Amino acid sequence: MEGVKDSSRILILDYGSQFTQLIARRVREARVYSEIHPPTRTVEWIRNWKPTGIILSGGPNSVYGEDVPSADPALLDIAPVLGICYGMQLIAHLQGGEVIGAGKREYGRADLVVNEPAGLFGGFDAGEKTPVWMSHGDHVDVPPPGFRVTASSGSVAIAAMRHESKPVHAVQFHPEVAHTARGADIISNFVFDVCGARPSWTPGTFIDEETLRIRERVGSARVICGLSGGVDSAVAAALVHRAIGDQLTCIFVDTGLLRMHERDQVERTFRANLGIDLVTVRAEERFLGALAGVDDPEKKRTIIGHTFIDVFEEAAEKVGEGVAYLVQGTLYPDVIESASPRGGPSVTIKTHHNVGGLKPGMKFKLIEPLRELFKDEVRNVGRELGLPEEIVGRHPFPGPGLAIRVLSDVTEEKLEVLRKADAIYLEEIRAAGLYDDIWQAFAVLLPVRSVGVMGDFRTYENVVALRAVTSTDGMTADWFPFPHDALARVSSRIINEVRGVNRVVYDISSKPPATIEWE
């Protein structure tokens, strides 16, 4: 990220671990900037990036396998290095140690015994036992020349090691996960004591650096922003507005895929709180016409993304001459889920509206000021910019809107059923004082009908699923343990007040293996 060249920053090379994003989170929680890149980055590129420290993530491969990701040994001389799991095995392999297979994979809790209370284990006691999380097949059997063992466990004699004279450290366990009791201390010791980083990654510094970057890039050009009413686009708009003022015009598109009273709320809230030029475009028929008969979620996302751009281009012509940029509230999890992070080995989960659904040949250049931030960081930036809590504390809402919560082809009739059910759900959550305890809550209209009885009559109506999760950044999530009486009220109201629904179910899936949205 250009804006943090002169600040401390940790480079994370992604070798395919499911926990790589957690490493970035833990470093940022220590107020030090971090970025995830693929292991294919060259030594020259890494030197030019000027990392304060480098972390090699875990991964599913064996260092002795074919076509597995590796590293140039010169990497270990650029900056202090921490290898985690596969990263540790790779360091051992590159430096002449011996890595062997365990015969079976070790997955779960283990007790770590600290041999050397210094470096990564500064602040620990010699001989201290602490719970850690293991997830590996291979392990280091013989340390490389010049390395010493700093911790062990019941199953792994070399659970941590360090070079005797260079700032190269490695651990077999995962300090980034919550199951490792003192993982935050270990990462903090690496970042501050080993790397000498400064805790300068704050909302204020981000705003100052990003404001300058946007101002330099845009110059005198005009900019438009697709304002959805959600947290991300609101914070992106406020940040760009701080940088370029009246050069920004926000365009709110009523797609017909919004929640109940969404347009009125957006117009009232953003004109009052942001003081930004706001243009509203009514395009309900256009979007519903484009989506007619489409039930594939990826096609829905693509159609909606392309139609958005068409509407933006037409609206921009009315804004005036010189519109060259489009602002989007893309976040880091959007980028990670839409494509491999920086070209790394992770698997594409879904195309995100902000990332993969844009129309080829679009005439605007993109400004994505929040692209490197997690959701909680975006909220903090919004608060620093002075946005009201009703905006920054709002639950996430997907760019494609209710189209991906109707799990079949999209019609106005289905949208109306879903809108009413969703409004009742959120109303009851707020009435119960639970809204701020939940990361995201919404209703889904399932593509099935069920038999029911209302009065003396048999019914054959729609099924609505309710989803509510807790999370920090959307990368992982647990289902929210609703009080039974609250769920009962929601179910009763939906069935009694929303015509066409006779059954309500609650989703108790976590992410992973599920995603938060159903499509």
pLDDT of residue 267: 82
- Residue 468 CA to residue 435 CA, distance in Å, equals 10
pLDDT of residue 112: 94
Our answer to whether residue 225 is catalytic in this structure is no
Catalytic residue among 93, 139, 163, 176: 176
| CA nearest neighbour of 224 among 246, 206, 257 | 246
What is the C-alpha end-to-end distance of the chain, expressed in Å? 31
- Residue 219 CA to residue 214 CA, distance in Å, equals 8
Our answer to whether residue 176 is catalytic in this structure is yes
Catalytic residue among 37, 85, 195, 372: 85
Contacts made by residues 121-129, CB under 8 angstroms, sequence distance 24+? 121/150, 121/151, 121/160, 121/186, 121/189, 122/189, 122/193, 123/185, 123/189, 124/182, 124/185
Amino acid (1-letter code) at residue 161:
M
pLDDT of residue 102: 63
Catalytic residue among 37, 136, 139, 174: 174
Residue-wise pLDDT for 38-58, tens only, equals 999 999 999 999 999 999 999
pLDDT of residue 348: 40
353 has a pLDDT exceeding 70:
no
pLDDT of residue 166: 96
| CA nearest neighbour of 106 among 48, 175, 154 | 154
Lowest mean pLDDT among 9-18, 96-105, 167-176, 507-516: 96-105
Put the strands of the sheet holding 323-327 in their side by side order.
277-282, 248-254, 222-226, 323-327, 365-367
As to burial, measured by CB atoms within 10 angstroms (0-12 exposed, 13-18 middle, 19+ buried), residue 263 is middle
- Residue 300 CA to residue 401 CA, distance in Å, equals 10
Average pLDDT of the chain is: 88
Residue-wise pLDDT for 166-188, tens only, equals 999 999 999 998 889 999 999 99
- Residue 253 CA to residue 304 CA, distance in Å, equals 11
Amino acid (1-letter code) at residue 342:
R
Q: Which residues contact 405 (CB under 8 A, 6 or more apart)?
A: 398, 418, 422, 442, 443, 444, 445, 517, 518, 519
- Residue 99 CA to residue 140 CA, distance in Å, equals 4
pLDDT of residue 454: 66
- Residue 387 CA to residue 241 CA, distance in Å, equals 12
3-state secondary structure of 6: coil
3-state secondary structure of 295: coil
- Residue 71 CA to residue 61 CA, distance in Å, equals 14
Residue keyed to tokens 């990368």:
475
Please give the average per-residue pLDDT across 436-452, as a whole number.
92
Phi, psi of 341 (to 5 degrees): -65, 115
359 has a pLDDT exceeding 60:
no
- Residue 221 CA to residue 219 CA, distance in Å, equals 6
Alpha helices (H) in 280-399, listed in sequence order: 284-291, 297-319, 332-338, 375-384, 389-392
Token code pair at residue 438: 């939940």
Amino acid (1-letter code) at residue 387:
L
In degrees, rounded to 5, the angle at the alpha carbon of residue 158 between the alpha carbons of residues 157 and 162 is 155
Token code pair at residue 372: 């490197």
Please give the average per-residue pLDDT across 238-247, as a whole number.
94
Q: What percent of the chain has pLDDT over 90?
A: 62
249 has a pLDDT exceeding 60:
yes
- Residue 429 CA to residue 493 CA, distance in Å, equals 13
Residue-wise pLDDT for 292-309, tens only, equals 999 999 999 999 989 988
Our answer to whether residue 216 is catalytic in this structure is no
Q: How confident is the model at residue 235 (pLDDT cuts 50, 70, 90)?
A: very high
pLDDT of residue 355: 41
Please give the average per-residue pLDDT across 390-413, as a whole number.
91
Count other C-beta atoms under 10 Å from residue 317's C-beta: 10
Residue-wise pLDDT for 321-346, tens only, equals 888 998 988 887 777 655 443 334 44
pLDDT of residue 336: 60
Please give the average per-residue pLDDT across 440-468, as a whole number.
85
Give the 3-state secondary structure of 22-52.
HHHHHHHHCCCEEEEECCCCCHHHHHHHCCC
Residue keyed to tokens 């602002």:
327
Token code pair at residue 461: 């109506």
Q: How confident is the model at residue 273 (pLDDT cuts 50, 70, 90)?
A: low
3-state secondary structure of 169: strand
Q: What percent of the chain has pLDDT over 70?
A: 91
Residue-wise pLDDT for 71-121, tens only, equals 999 999 999 999 999 999 999 999 999 998 765 566 778 899 999 999 999
Please give the average per-residue pLDDT across 238-257, as a whole number.
92
Omega of the bond leading into 513 within 30 degrees of 0 (cis): yes
Count other C-beta atoms under 10 Å from residue 102's C-beta: 14
pLDDT of residue 512: 82
Q: Which residues contact 65 (CB under 8 A, 6 or more apart)?
A: none
Q: Cα–chain-centroid distance for residue 119?
A: 31
Phi, psi of 370 (to 5 degrees): -110, 10
Amino acid (1-letter code) at residue 151:
A
pTM: 0.74
As to burial, measured by CB atoms within 10 angstroms (0-12 exposed, 13-18 middle, 19+ buried), residue 245 is exposed
349 has a pLDDT exceeding 70:
no
Residue keyed to tokens 């991300």:
232
- Residue 322 CA to residue 336 CA, distance in Å, equals 32
Token code pair at residue 210: 């990003």
Please give the average per-residue pLDDT across 425-432, as a whole number.
96
pLDDT of residue 84: 97
